[in-house]
Amino acid sequence: MSGKETVSQAGESVAWRHHHVLDVDDFSTAEIELVMQTADAMKDVLSRPIRKVPALRGKTVFTVFYEASTRTRGSFEAAAKNLSADVVNITAQSSSVTKGESLIDTLNTLEAIGADIIVMRHPLSGAHYCAAPYVKANLLNAGDGWHAHPTQALLDLYTMRRHKMSVNGLKVAIVGDIKHSRVAHSNIWCLSKMGAKVTLCAPPTLLPAGMDDPQGRFPDVNVTTDINAALQDADVVMCLRLQKERMQSGLLPGLREFTSGYQLNKERLALAKPDAIVMHPGPVNEDVELAGDVLHGPRSMVNEQVANGVAVRMALLYLLSGSKEL
Ligand code: ASP
């Protein structure tokens, strides 16, 4: 078995087959396992005194961010550099998009400069899907609008597994602004596929339509507006940021009502299992969706999620590159 394969539950070996990573909805469980195992190998690299391997030597990774980012952009850049790739960072303000160039023309220009892998964040849901057929380089989705954030879902899964071994059968409560959250959408796919029991909890105006349909795509996902029911016996509590930049007015009476009804604080966390972990993809609105003492408390995985993001993004860059060296 090479480093690009894993063994499925049925015993057959599964090879990496993705040219682009646009979301996790087209990943099989065995492919998710392959990412997890590769991330373990990357975690090992990151524990060495010199955190660098030659796997992507001679390859060029472009990060193209049309939206703000600290964690995702920084960790992709660190991940690519740890694998010895050359890295070029482009932001919307400094790109020819401001002069009217189309997205596809911009990406083709980056390929002409020498991009092997393009890591892109875009404010429009589906932007990557429109561009992907015209891009020969590997396209990696670092977030598209409200739609998907596959590397966040994979790093969240990786973090859960480091504490809980497997997520199969675990109750994962996702609380907050689910409607506008690409993190929630990718996590619902990924966690459901891996056997977790996902409960979504938000005020009715911040819940996406159609999630509680037993005949729908996610028959095992529970939806509730009652935070106590969501937190009861949860193994993992994932809080989400209020996406004020995406919100139309009128979805919430006010911040205070949201905080009093949906903030994860110590009292509410006591409803979850005693060993429940607390997660948040960041950036956190401290004392809005997550109380400061829980955010900085011992059950908070927020910084660990960020650290694991480097290993998981190294794994994806490595798998996409087709490199055989580690
Ligand atoms: N950083 C995550 C994202 O880009 C979560 C957030 O912004 O709230 O979607």
94-113 per-position pLDDT tens digit: 777 667 789 999 999 999 99
Task: Name the residue at shortest CA distance from atom 8 of ligand 1.
Answer: 241
Q: Which pLDDT value is given to residue 252?
A: 78
Q: Measured in angstroms, how far is the CA atom of residue 304 from the centroid of ligand 1?
A: 16
Residue 143 Cβ < 6 Å to ligand 1? yes
| Residue 199 pLDDT grade (very low, low, confident, very high; cuts 50, 70, 90) | very high
Residue 241 Cβ < 6 Å to ligand 1? yes
| Residue 194 pLDDT grade (very low, low, confident, very high; cuts 50, 70, 90) | very high
Q: Which pLDDT value is given to residue 247?
A: 63
Residue 285 confidence (pLDDT) above 70? yes
Q: How far apart are CA 187 and CA 199, in angstroms?
A: 11
Q: Which pLDDT value is given to residue 2?
A: 43
Residue 5 confidence (pLDDT) above 70? no
Residue 150 Cβ < 6 Å to ligand 1? no
Q: Which pLDDT value is given to residue 1?
A: 39
- Which stretches does DSSP call E strand in the chain? 5-7, 13-15, 60-65, 86-91, 117-122, 138-144, 171-175, 197-201, 222-224, 236-239, 277-279
Angle between helices 71-82 and 302-321 (to 10 degrees): 50
Q: Measured in angstroms, how far is the CA atom of residue 3 from the centroid of ligand 1?
A: 31
Residue 68 confidence (pLDDT) above 80? yes
For residue 22, give the DSSP letter.
S
Q: Which pLDDT value is given to residue 316?
A: 98
| Residue 6 pLDDT grade (very low, low, confident, very high; cuts 50, 70, 90) | low
Residue 313 Cβ < 6 Å to ligand 1? no
- Span 270-297, mean pLDDT? 97
Q: Measured in angstroms, how far is the CA atom of residue 247 from the centroid of ligand 1?
A: 14
- When the pLDDT of each residue in the chain is averaged and rounded to a whole number, the result is 92
Alpha-carbon distances, residue 302 vs 34, 141, 238 (angstroms): 24, 21, 10
- Span 276-304, mean pLDDT? 97
Q: Measured in angstroms, how far is the CA atom of residue 132 from the centroid of ligand 1?
A: 22
* 308-74-178 Cα angle (round to 5): 65
